[in-house]
A and B are shown apart, each in its own frame.
Chain A
Amino acid sequence: MRRLLAPRLIALFVLGWALFSFPLIQLWDREASLFGLPLLPLGLFFVWAVLIGVLAWLMERDP
C-alpha cells in the first residue's frame, strides 16, 4: 500500500488542479440553479467536498 500512496496522491493533486482550472471550471459557470442554489458556488463546493473525501479515504486506509 505504502508504495502506492505517493503516486495516488500525486494523481489526485493533478486531478484537483484540473477540476479547479480552465476549462473544467467553466462548466459550472452558467445561469442555472440546483435545489434553489446557484450552480457555480455549488459546483465549487461540491468538487471541494469530493476532494476532501477522497483524500481522507486515501490517508485513513493506509496503515
Chain B
Amino acid sequence: MSDRVLLATFEHEDDLLAATDAVRRGGFEIVDAFTPYAVHGLERAMGLRPSRLTWVCFLCGMTGALGMLWFEHWTASIDWQLDVGGKPWNSLPSDVPVAFEAAVLLAGFGSVFALFAVSRLFPGKQPQIIDPRITDDRFVLVIDEANAAFDAAAVRSMLQEFHVLAVEERVTTPGGELQ
C-alpha cells in the first residue's frame, strides 16, 4: 500500500455497493470501506476472502473440549482417584458438561481476542475516524493510489456514475493509519 489513498464519499449504500464492485473490477486495490452500519453484500463487493476467524473459533473450541476432557480424566482418575457415588473413576458422562463449557468459553474468548489482535484493537487506542459522518449517514470507500493503473481523473469520472458526493486524497502515516 502506498502512502496516498483516495476517499470517495457516498450518501446511499446502494451507490457504495455498486461503486465498490466497479472499482474492484476496474483492477484497483480497495483499502477499506467505512459505513455507519453493517452493509449486506459489501464483503462480496470488496472481494474479501472468507473470514479465517471461524477456524480460530473452531480450533479454540476443540482445544477447550479435548483439553478439559484430558484434564478431568487426569485429575479424577490418574493423579488423585475420586470415588463419587460409587461411579468408576473414569466416568465420561460427568466430564462432558465441564468440557462443553470449556469449549464454549475458549471458542468465545479465542474469537474475540483473535479479532482484537488482527484489527489492532486494544484498551486506550485512539480512534482514527476519517470522517465523523461515517458514524451517522455517510459511506466512504478508500482506494489505494499505488497501483500503476491508477488514474485519478478516470477514477473520479467512474465514481461520478455512482453519485459520489466528494472525492478527496489523503496521505497515510508510516503506521498505515489514515489522517
A binds B: no
